[in-house]
Structure 1
Amino acid sequence: MRLFLDCEFTELSQQAKLISLALVAEDDREFYVELLDAWREEDCSDFVREIVLPQLWGGEYAMPVIEARAALLRFLATYEEELEIVTDAPAYDWELFCELAYHDGKWPQNVRNFPIDATTLTAKNDGEELPHHALLDARIITSMFS
């Protein structure tokens, strides 16, 4: 089972901090979370402040890292089959996913420990322009490849 990953983060650098993370599975199940305590507005680039932050949904999706990690691990555990994570930004999205998924020295048993780079796959369509919202972007990426 492939899960398409997209993240929003503070800046395009190795110091990037996770703001939001989304997974959309080939079976149409979705996971979306926004982190409350992993970043500050001062950490964000101008682009992120202007484009990404105004699109955050808040409410039930916004939670501390500890709760977000638990929610992610619960979601991943609902699958019995091996999960392949597909991302178009392995240098950022995959690394941030790993930071959230890797906990207490353990990796989720049913998740492959390396990503599939979406840019190496053949797209069914060109998709839409990504709006820079993790869940909406993950839905578009999923539609391009599944």
Structure 2
Amino acid sequence: MLVFLDTEYTGRDVPTPKLISIALVAEDGHREFYAELSDGWRVEDCNVFVRREVLPHLGADNVLSRAELKPQLRQWLRAGPRSIRIATDSPIDFQILANLLTGEWPQNVAVDRYDLRAMVDSGAFHHAAQRYFGPGRHEHHALHDARALRLGWLAYIDARKLRGQG
């Protein structure tokens, strides 16, 4: 099963990007994981884009320290199907996840990622993902972005089936 991953972090142009929030959404849409970090980053660490587009949308109930996040994330992944592959459009997101799981990578999770970048610009993927966003569902919020990635992937797969390629 694919699990769609998105993260928000302090910025690509900062020396060491620091995790702010993380979301995982299962392919079937029945399981989700979302957490915001209470530590390990500061507003001063964030670039202008993150301050403007990411920080105003934070405020979830599931705010965890980095020490709390790691075991909860591992437990969520281990409770999933026997075979999980992480799908993301960003190598940075996957690297952040890998750093969190270092030393205790769940056996049911593949060590490589399913790269969505080639699909993201396709019409079906892009339009489905963009339709997801609206009032209360902001782009550049890890959970909303992960949900949009899932919907885009589903639309892309459906479009391929209609063209006889799937």
Same fold (TM over 0.5): yes
Alignment map for 1:65-76 (pairs within 5 Å): 65-76=66-77
2:5 corresponds to which residue?
Answer: 5
Pair 1:106 & 2:107 matched: no
User: Which secondary structure does the structure 2 equivalent of 1:67 belong to?
Assistant: helix
Would the aligned equivalents of 2:119 and 2:125 in 1 still touch at CA under 8 Å?
A: no
**Where does the alignment leave 5 or more consecutive residues of structure 1 unmatched?**
none
CA distance in 2, matches of 1:77, 1:107: 9
Specify the alignment match of 2:28 in structure 1.
Answer: 27
Q: Which amino acid aligns with 2:139?
A: P
Return the offset for 1:101. 2.0
Residues 38-64 of structure 1: CA distance to partner in whole angstroms, max 9, x if unpaired?
A: 1111110011111101101233x1110
- Residue by residue over 1:105-140, the C-alpha shift from the partner in whole angstroms, topping out at 9 and shown as x without a partner, is 221111111111101348643220671000000000
Q: TM-score, normalised by structure 2?
A: 0.79
> Which residue matches 2:86?
85
> Equivalent residue for 2:41?
39
Query: CA contact under 8 A between 2:4 and 2:146: conserved in structure 1?
Result: yes
CA distance in 2, matches of 1:138, 1:89: 11
What is residue 159 of structure 2 aligned with on the other side?
none
2:3/2:87 contact within 8 Å kept: yes
Structure 2 SS opposite 1:115: strand
Q: Matched residues in 2 for 1:125 and 1:106: separation?
A: 33
Q: Identical aligned pairs, as a percentage?
A: 41
How large is the RMSD of aligned CA atoms in angstroms?
1.7
Residue 116 of structure 1 aligns to a residue in which SS?
Answer: strand
2:95 partner letter: E
Tell me how far apart the structure 2 counterparts of residues 49 and 121 of structure 1 sit (CA, whole Å): 28
More helix by share: 2
Structure 2, unmatched stretches of 5+, are 155-166
Residue type of the partner of 2:94?
W
For 2:60 and 2:147, the matched residues in 1 are separated by: 19
Match of 1:58 among 57, 60, 85: 60
Superposition TM-score, scaled by structure 1 size? 0.90
